[in-house]
Amino acid sequence: GTDPAAAFLHRLIEKHDVADTEFLVDAGGYLTALARHELSGQLDYQIRNHIEKWFQTVTMRIDRFHSFWRGSQTSAKQWLRRFRHHYNHERPNQALDGQTPAEQIQN
């Protein structure tokens, strides 16, 4: 909703200089919240869909990880660092025409 979005943006503004930032948002309360704080935002579902797919993948893997992990907290952190590297630098992504996210950013 708009009020939680506005509260989040308020806290963000207190901690960071976001005056020149353009926010990528959905059509929900964030557009109104951005306007309340005189911040810039746009709808771009193509990029947003890539982000949503990434969060869906991460959420699914976290659920699996939580259900089956029996290691220590240190080994979990190490595994997550390795996963992040694999996902961004080694794993081809269908939505990015077979490129990795790192390759997509560099091009």
Task: Tell me the mean pLDDT in the region 81-91.
Answer: 92
pLDDT at 17: 92
Same domain, yes or no, for 29 and 1? yes
Same domain, yes or no, for 35 and 4? yes
The answer, yes or no, to whether residue 89 has pLDDT greater than 90, is yes
The answer, yes or no, to whether residue 90 has pLDDT greater than 70, is yes
Same domain, yes or no, for 64 and 98? yes
Same domain, yes or no, for 59 and 93? yes
H helix runs in the chain, sequence order: 2-15, 29-36, 45-68, 73-85, 101-106
User: 63 to each of 58, 59, 69, how far by Cα in Å?
Assistant: 9, 6, 10
> pLDDT higher for 75 or 1?
75
pLDDT at 2: 85
CB of 32 closer than 8 Å to CB of 41: no
Same domain, yes or no, for 56 and 39? no
